[in-house]
Amino acid sequence: MRSEVLDLHELDEGQRALAGGKGAGLGALAGIDGVVVPPGFCVTTDAFRRVVGGSSLVAELLEGLGAVSPDDGDAVRTQSAAVRAAVEATVLPPDLSAAITAALAHLGDGTALAVRSSATAEDLPTASFAGQQDTYLNVVGADEVLLHVRRCWASLFTERAVTYRIRNGIDHRTVQMAVVVQQLVLPRASGVLFTADPITGNRKVAAVEATVGLGEALVSGRVDADSYRVRDGAIVERRTGHKQVATVALASGGTEEQAVAPGDQAVPALADAEVLHLAALGRRIEAALGRPQDIEWCLVDDGFRIVQSRPITTLFPAPAPAPASADDANHVYVSVGHQQMMTDPMKPLGLNLWQLKARPVMHEAAGRLFVDVTPMLAAPASRAAVLGALGTADPLVGDALQAIVDRDGFLPEPPPAPDAGPGGAPAGPPPGTAPDPIATDPAVVTALIQQAEASIAATEREIRGKAGPELLAFILEDIQELKRVLWDPVGHQALMSGMDAAGWLNEHLLEWLGEKGAVDTLSQSVANNVTSEMGLALLDVADAVRPHPEVIAFLEEGPGDDLLDRLPALDGGDAARGAIVGFLARYGMRCVGEIDLTRPRWNERPSTLVPLILGNVRAFEPGEGRRRFEQGRREAEAKAVEVLARLRALPDGDAKADEAAEMIARVRTFAGFREFPKYAIVCRSWVYKQALLAEADRLVAAGLLRDREDADFLSFAELQSVAAGTAVDGALVDQRKEAFATYQRLVPPRVLTSEGEAVRGTYRRTDVPEGALVGLAVSTGTVEGRARVVHDLGEAAVEPGDILVTAYTDPSWSPLFVAVAGLVTEVGGLMTHGAVIAREYGLPAVVGVEGATRLIRDGQRIRVHGTEGHVELID
């Protein structure tokens, strides 16, 4: 019984399982010097388990609730109401009622109280679950308190709470409820304080919202509150709301809303000195609890009362600076994932291996990688080039960085100029400048590809038979060989030559001919584009499947990843199997999010390709792959003839045409090579992965790992230690798995500062129709069609003429491009993979359309303006 009713001062953060999030949080607050928490006690989860957990009726109802789909609103509503009714009808044991009544006596007879739900799955560092359970204000008398304790227990099963738990995979039977009973504060003002700006994430800015009376009207959104921003002990922004209503306590119990006199509605609820004192109090609480806080407060005559504090769970963490630059100076980080078309979090091993392969230092935050561009922005010699290159590739990044540059005193004094840009590639000259002097010779690209393939083959030979520390040491050494191949000076010249020639053509053909994006047609069906060739190769697989109805029927049944073993038993299965195996031999190391080595490759899950193959079978005739390539080549050749003829008709036209012809030849020679370096990285990574999977199995057999997946949650250095004989720390792995799950709910910003601020750029455009969605034009043309909003490549159901709308596309999405008429993505730039392949296939495309998958409905008719960079919603 002693553990069923505890005073708040007997609780702390470590007793969440006993007191719930709110109770544990209030206990922790009560122990901070200078923080005043209204007195009260907690009816703990021990009481909940004894009363509610001991009810056979509730247990039976929860069993049924666990089988309900979150999308079945009627079932959620009906069954959750039945659970709530059963909980409210439970009878409290006499000893528990007596303990609660005794605790009430210490607060004083007739004291107005707040009775507040405190679930074990709320106010977590990773998820707040805020507002899902009930709070009752101005509860007076023991009988009313006992009734409202049961009501709080029942609120664990509101429709919203039940749906949230189902969607987040939380078993209803594992969540417990405590109840906090506190003396009700009757304040002249109340509100919330965020110790980090909840909009920008800036950890140095506190946000205050305040209203008169109790805070319920503010929390529920029924009042226009005062708002303040505080930084470094000063109010830097303020807005006084018109507070038309206030929530007040009634003498008879409960609360009601009362109108605020018109003359008082615009009077600030707090004086400036009170705002600053509150912000300082918030900093004290944040320091004690170790993370930014969302704090509920009340102001009475003698000072502030803190009635709740929970972690702010929506903030994206700032990257930790490298040890060499660990200082108090400001830093600016650019997202690597937005360049690599992989904004999902990466597991630690995959993330660490990508860091090891990268040339610039990459910093981790929430499972994503960022590059510190502060030195390049601070140095005048490199600033313009960086802003130009990044702004051309992604205007939202460029605009955000320019906003930071324009802030007085934010950037440090410039250091020596660096040699590499973000994402692992030297920044290079801005588009439109003269290309590097390299011969326009296809043999250059052929030699580079052969060199890389020979290096990968050597790695494949030399890694065989290696295990334990020897294997890990070999991979570390081989990564240096990978870097050598990737940073070969000739390879870099070839890469930049194609990109810069494209920039030159776009700039000069617009100037000379008034034509936008002519290079998009000129770059169709270029040689050596391994990613576009992959999409066409899957059309050839469809050709091998199409003649065999039994194979098609088998694939339509949704076979598992053993499909290659089962195909030979079917009529035509050998031919289909041979085509799929051939495709996998060339491209099976790819997958969605392929920069993360821990993600399953197509070689591991060939069933991922089945929807794409079947889509090609239904949509196209035999030989479509060859026809597509030839059509693109003919269109490019015709465009070159047209452009050069128009140039020759201009003053000094022969010189212009000769110069343009050389640039067209450079694009045709080198543009396809743009996709090869990443392909080479992924090929080599697949060699590493196969060896690391075998090593993980060896470590499991040796008892050093619990299971193969645990290896994914170790850094490379930690895996080396385990390979040398040190058993893995299972608790550490579990902690990282839990953290990874929370990272998946966070959206990474393009640009982030060391203050935690997500700096958002904007498209500064006035030339788009009203209501259109603005993005970056990356592939010319206009197309109207049905939008297919796709979140999972394995579930893509598109038909010819559809427009693909998705968050991002990496090379693994390219086989889907052959079946669509246009492309819209939320993430992307001029030279990201989706843009390159869209141009190669002649698909109008607009990328970087923020919120596209939310603002465009699946099935909605849209018009994509790939030349102008916007999307119209037709219906």
Contact 742, 314 (CB under 8 A): no
- Residue 266, strand partner residues: none
Residue in the structure block whose two tokens are 């050494």 = 477
pLDDT recorded at residue 351: 97
Amino acid symbol at 851:
G
Structure tokens at 532: 């576009």
Global pTM exceeds 0.75: yes
Q: What is the pLDDT of residues 704-744, one digit of tens each?
A: 999 999 999 999 999 999 999 999 999 999 999 999 999 99
Mean pLDDT of 839-853: 95
In the predicted model, is pLDDT for residue 430 greater than 50?
Answer: no
Cβ density class 261-275: b for 16+ within 10 Å, e for less = eeeebeebbbeeebb
64-73, 279-288, 296-305, 501-510: least confident range: 64-73
Residue 802 above 90 pLDDT?
yes
Residue with tokens 């250059």: 444
Q: How confident is the model at residue 220 (pLDDT cuts 50, 70, 90)?
A: low
- pLDDT, tens digit (0-9, with 9 covering 90-100), for 757-793: 999 999 988 889 999 999 999 999 999 999 999 998 8
- Which residue, among 169, 157, 190, 170, has the nearest Cα to 38 in the 3D structure? 190
Average pLDDT over residues 231-249: 86
Give the number of C-alpha atoms closer than 13 A to the C-alpha of residue 10, restricted to the C-beta side: 14
> What is the chain's mean pLDDT, rounded?
90
Do residues 210 and 190 lie in contact, with contact meaning Cβ atoms separated by under 8 Å?
yes
Q: Any idea which of 212-216, 373-377, 475-479, 837-841 has the lowest mean pLDDT?
A: 212-216
3-state secondary structure 552-601: HHHHHCCCCCCHHHHHHHCCCHHHHHHHHHHHHHHHCCCCCCCCCCCCCC
Q: How many helices (H) and strands (E) does the chain have?
A: 31, 26
The span from the CA of 454 to the CA of 462, in Å, is 12
In the predicted model, is pLDDT for residue 168 greater than 80? Answer: no
**Contact predicate 378/415, CB 8 Å:** yes
CA pair distance 270, 384, nearest whole angstrom: 45
d(CA 188, CA 708): 59
Give 618-645 pLDDT, tens digit per residue.
Answer: 999 999 999 999 999 999 999 999 999 9
Q: Which residues contact 289 (CB under 8 A, 6 or more apart)?
A: 13, 28, 309, 311
Q: Tokens representing 350? A: 């995959």
From the centroid of its chain, how far is CA 457? 35
Q: What phi, psi does 835 have (nearest 5°)?
A: -65, -45
Predicted confidence (pLDDT) per residue in 588-614, tens digit: 999 999 999 999 999 999 999 999 999
The per-residue pLDDT for range 362-405, each reduced to its tens digit, is 999 999 999 999 999 999 989 999 999 899 889 999 999 999 99
Residue 127 has pLDDT above 80, yes or no: no
DSSP 316-378: PPPPPPPGGG-SSS--EEEESHHHHT--S---HHHHHHHHHH-SS-EEEETTEEEEE-HHHHH
Pairing of strands 135-139, 113-119: antiparallel
Is the Cα dihedral 656, 662, 663, 665 positive or negative? positive
Of residues 551 and 128, more confidence is placed in 551
pLDDT band at 126 (very low <50, low <70, confident <90, very high): very low
> pLDDT: is 605 or 158 the higher one?
605
pLDDT for res 421: 46
Percent of the chain topping pLDDT 90: 76
The average pLDDT across 42-50 equals 95
What is the layout of strands, in order, in the sheet containing 226-231? 234-239, 226-231, 205-212, 189-194, 293-300, 303-311
Neighbours of 454 (CB within 10 A): 11
DSSP for residue 671: G
Predicted confidence at residue 131, as pLDDT, reads 45
How many other C-beta atoms are found inside a 10 Å radius of the C-beta of residue 116? 25
Residue whose token pair is 């909605």 = 860
* Closest CA relative to residue 815, chosen from 510, 545, 602: 602
User: Does pLDDT of 463 surpass 50?
Assistant: yes
> What residues are labeled active site?
833
How many angstroms from the chain centroid is the CA of residue 596? 14
Which residues are registered as beta bridge partners of 758? 752
- 629 neighbors 525 (Cβ within 8 angstroms): yes
- Is residue 479 predicted with pLDDT exceeding 90? yes
Over residues 329-348, mean pLDDT:
94
pLDDT band at 174 (very low <50, low <70, confident <90, very high): confident
Q: What percent of the chain has pLDDT over 70?
A: 93
Q: Can you read off the two tokens belonging to residue 371?
A: 């590059």
Three state DSSP letters for 120-177: CCCCCCCCCCCCCCCEEEEECCHHHHHHHHHHHHHHHHCHHHHHHHHHCCCCHHHCCE
Which phi-psi region, left, alpha or beta, contains residue 303 (left: φ > 0; alpha: ψ -120 to 50)?
left
Q: What is the pLDDT of residue 274?
A: 96
Cα-Cα-Cα-Cα dihedral sign, residues 379, 196, 18, 157: negative
CA distance 567 to 578: 10
The mean pLDDT value for 78-98 works out to: 92
